[in-house]
């Protein structure tokens, strides 16, 4: 599976229309800048996407993948083959190479459990990148008396 930008939106291209939203009829290799991909795993328990995006900034291209369960324990992760950048069934938010602009409806959901992978795409000459964040204030943490309802 490959991801491409088509009409300003990311699309998946692959061998089968069943699993992807575009099916290639021909292919052409275009040489471009090589990219270095750097991935970081983020524990999202008690945190929202708004919290994460505020720490990522806009200096680099990045995509988010993973799953957040809202309201109770995380169960086994399901297949992530079909390309839907974000899907939410009322309890589980799945992200698959999602970009910040695709996450507006979900920004204030706080995860009861889950992890997301932040994948930065760096161009040649970009400085090394490490994802660091610190806990700030108590407004981002779920109060202990409310945590039991998650």
111: its two tokens: 């995860």
SS (HEC) of 3-46: EEEECCEEEEECCCCCCCCECCCCCCCCCCCCCEEEEEEEECEC
23 and 40 belong to one structural domain: no
- When pLDDT is averaged across residues 65-89 and rounded to a whole number, the result is 68
pLDDT band at 137 (very low <50, low <70, confident <90, very high): low
20 and 48 belong to one structural domain: no
Q: Has this prediction a pTM greater than 0.85?
A: no
66 and 120 belong to one structural domain: yes
50 and 71 belong to one structural domain: yes
76 and 123 belong to one structural domain: yes
| Domain, as residue range, for 5 | 1-31
pLDDT tens for residues 34-55?
Answer: 777 888 888 888 888 888 888 8
62 and 124 belong to one structural domain: yes
19 and 40 belong to one structural domain: no
Q: What is the pLDDT of residue 74?
A: 47
4 and 59 belong to one structural domain: no
Give 53-60 contacts, CB < 8 A, sequence gap 24+: 53/100, 53/103, 53/107, 55/131, 55/133, 56/100, 56/118, 56/131, 58/100, 60/120, 60/121, 60/122, 60/126, 60/129
**How many domains, the chain?**
2
68 and 89 belong to one structural domain: yes
9 and 79 belong to one structural domain: no
69 and 94 belong to one structural domain: yes
105 and 47 belong to one structural domain: yes
Distance of CA 63 to the CA centre of its chain: 5
- When pLDDT is averaged across residues 95-114 and rounded to a whole number, the result is 88
């Amino acid at each position: 599976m490959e991801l491409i930008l088509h009409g300003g939106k990311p699309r998946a291209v692959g061998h089968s229309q069943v699993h992807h939203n575009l099916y290639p009829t021909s292919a052409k290799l275009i040489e471009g800048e090589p990219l270095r991909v750097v991935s970081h795993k983020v524990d999202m328990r008690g945190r929202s996407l708004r919290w994460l995006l505020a720490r990522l900034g806009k200096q680099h291209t990045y995509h988010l993948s993973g799953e957040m369960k809202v309201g109770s324990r995380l169960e086994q992760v399901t297949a992530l083959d079909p390309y839907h950048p974000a899907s939410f069934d009322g309890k589980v938010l799945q992200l698959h190479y999602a970009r910040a602009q695709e996450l507006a409806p979900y920004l204030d959901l706080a995860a009861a459990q889950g992890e997301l992978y932040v994948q930065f795409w760096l161009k040649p000459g970009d400085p090394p990148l490490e994802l660091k964040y610190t806990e700030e204030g108590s407004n981002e943490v779920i109060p202990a008396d409310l945590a039991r309802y998650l």
